[in-house]
């Protein structure tokens, strides 16, 4: 029987390796060209198929494993030859992808790669950043770079942990001969993140800024939930409609295991309740109106929508608009300036600003408010997920009619007092698309 190839519009290939279907063996084989022998080599995968246009997913995975194995250096690379961006990519793909909070590391890697590009543009690094370039001076420049972006010590420390983790992983995997020491920021430079809270005037300004533009409404809803529940940021961003039931928010999805950062069950405060009515799927979604030219009916707006798992940039923009900000400093410690926006009629440069705090600052704010309003410590701890519970309490306590009653009462007092500064939290959900 003659060998048949799958009729595919485009060959599935990784590097110099590709998949080819052999009908006589009913096998998707991995093929490559051996220049030394001047012939094509192949390796059976043991994965059959019908010879259809596309190879099955299992064959694609076998190709990926073969490519990674073949790409791995036979011997650890010298420090001067090992490229740090490639090690970061491998670390993210082969190690971090298995972790629960992989998105956090991905953000740090993005900041590191931005810094690497900057170092090359300034001529401090030529030909790409290698492991040999990672020394005390290099790390000090990165710390100064991130400080110039008005980033706190804890965040910089997390970025450095990503670099340190990738290099140590590469050494353990025998990809490099040795991992350099990556210093941390000094303890005194690590700002205490829970020291920062927002006043009621600042929260009002933040809510108004978030409500002012439809594409920021996800920040508005996030803020309402955070200030009504004491919930953790990641738990709010993971929240789906099936976790809202019987007047309660179950921050722990039934399909997830509880971790040391406990996810609580919190009653829905009356002020928050109208904003959660009718939600479908993921609760926090980014939604923006499409250009009118793309509407099927010129009188009916259409929207682009996607699930949102990180609202850092949008939250920061709301903080800046609300006046809760500070100037960004350049490498010389002077305020960084942005060019004038000609379309807005500006003629002079303006200072670059960065918001003070993060989405999690809302959690610190409302917990502080609950303490100030005399809510029992046990109720605050239960809502915030700060303490573990026995099986009976964890499974049944939320069914009591008075569960967290004093906390929810204090939350409603907070929203009632907020009416002195804004009423945006009282507007019906239907007044604008969320």
pLDDT in tens, 286-336: 888 888 888 888 888 888 888 888 888 899 999 999 999 988 877 667 788
* Number of domains observed in the structure of the chain: 3
The answer to whether residue 24 sits within a structural domain is yes
Q: What does the pLDDT read at residue 77?
A: 79
**Which tokens is 419 given?**
């009416």
Low-confidence spans in the chain with pLDDT less than 70:
1-10, 50-53, 72-74, 99-103, 190-195, 255-261, 331-332, 387-402, 428-434
What CATH number is associated with residue 166? Answer: 1.10.150
Tell me: do 182 and 209 sit in the same domain: no
Q: What does the pLDDT read at residue 26?
A: 83
Tell me: do 340 and 249 sit in the same domain: yes
Q: How many angstroms separate the CA atoms of 344 and 236, rounded?
A: 36
Q: What is the pTM of this model?
A: 0.59
Which residue among 191, 210, 231 closes a domain? Answer: 191
The answer to whether residue 224 sits within a structural domain is yes
Tell me: do 100 and 205 sit in the same domain: no
Q: What does the pLDDT read at residue 249?
A: 92
Phi, psi of 141 (to 5 degrees): -65, -40
Q: How many angstroms separate the CA atoms of 413 and 407, rounded?
A: 10
Q: What does R_g of the chain's alpha carbons equal in angstroms?
A: 27
Tell me: do 274 and 136 sit in the same domain: no
**What number of other Cβ atoms are within 10 A of residue 276's Cβ?**
18
Tell me: do 109 and 207 sit in the same domain: no
Tell me: do 387 and 347 sit in the same domain: yes
Assign 393 to helix, strand or coil.
Answer: helix
Longest dimension (CA), the chain: 84
- The DSSP string of 70-130 is HHS-SSPBPTTT-BHHHHHHHHHHHTGGGSTTHHHHHHHHHHHHHHHHHHHHTTSSSSS-B
- Give the list of residues 6+ apart from residue 107 with CB closer than 8 angstroms, or none: 310, 312
Tell me: do 204 and 158 sit in the same domain: no
Residue 169 domain boundaries: 84-191
């Amino acid at each position: 029987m003659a060998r048949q190839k799958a009729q595919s519009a485009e060959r599935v290939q990784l590097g110099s390796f590709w998949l080819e279907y052999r009908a006589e063996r009913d096998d998707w084989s991995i093929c490559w060209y051996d220049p030394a022998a001047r012939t094509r080599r192949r390796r059976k995968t043991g994965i059959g198929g019908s010879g259809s246009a596309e190879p099955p997913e299992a064959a694609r995975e076998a190709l990926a494993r073969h490519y990674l194995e073949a790409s791995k250096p036979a011997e650890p690379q010298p420090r001067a030859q090992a490229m740090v961006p490639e090690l970061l990519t491998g670390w993210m793909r082969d190690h971090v992808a298995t972790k629960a909070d992989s998105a956090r590391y991905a953000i740090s890697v993005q900041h590191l790669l931005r810094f690497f590009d900057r170092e090359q543009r300034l001529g401090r690094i030529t030909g790409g950043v290698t492991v040999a370039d990672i020394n005390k001076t290099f790390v000090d420049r990165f710390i100064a770079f991130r400080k110039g972006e008005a980033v706190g010590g804890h965040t910089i420390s997390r970025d450095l942990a990503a670099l340190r983790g990738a290099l140590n992983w590469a050494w353990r995997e025998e990809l490099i001969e040795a991992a350099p020491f990556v210093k941390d920021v000094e303890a005194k430079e690590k700002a205490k993140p829970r020291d920062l809270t927002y006043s009621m005037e600042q929260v009002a300004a933040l809510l108004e800024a978030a409500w002012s533009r439809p594409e920021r409404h996800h920040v508005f809803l996030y803020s309402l939930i955070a200030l009504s529940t004491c919930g953790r940021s990641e738990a709010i961003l993971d929240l789906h409609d099936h976790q809202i039931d019987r007047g309660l928010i179950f921050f722990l999805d039934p399909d997830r295991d509880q971790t040391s950062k406990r996810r609580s069950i919190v009653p829905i405060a009356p002020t928050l309740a109208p904003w959660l009515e009718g939600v479908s799927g993921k609760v926090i979604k980014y939604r923006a109106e499409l250009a009118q030219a793309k509407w099927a009916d010129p009188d009916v707006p259409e929207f682009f929508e996607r699930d949102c798992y990180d609202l850092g940039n949008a939250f920061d923009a709301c903080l800046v608009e609300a006046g809760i900000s500070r100037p960004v400093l350049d490498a010389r410690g002077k305020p960084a300036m942005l060019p004038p926006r000609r379309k807005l009629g500006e003629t002079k440069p303006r200072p670059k600003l960065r918001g003070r705090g993060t989405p999690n600052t809302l959690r610190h704010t409302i917990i502080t408010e609950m303490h100030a309003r005399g809510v029992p410590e046990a109720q605050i701890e239960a809502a915030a997920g700060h303490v573990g519970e026995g099986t009976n309490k964890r499974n049944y306590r939320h069914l009591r009619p008075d569960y967290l009653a004093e906390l929810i009462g204090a939350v409603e007092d907070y929203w009632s007092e907020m009416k002195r500064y804004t009423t945006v939290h009282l507007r019906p959900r239907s007044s604008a698309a969320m």
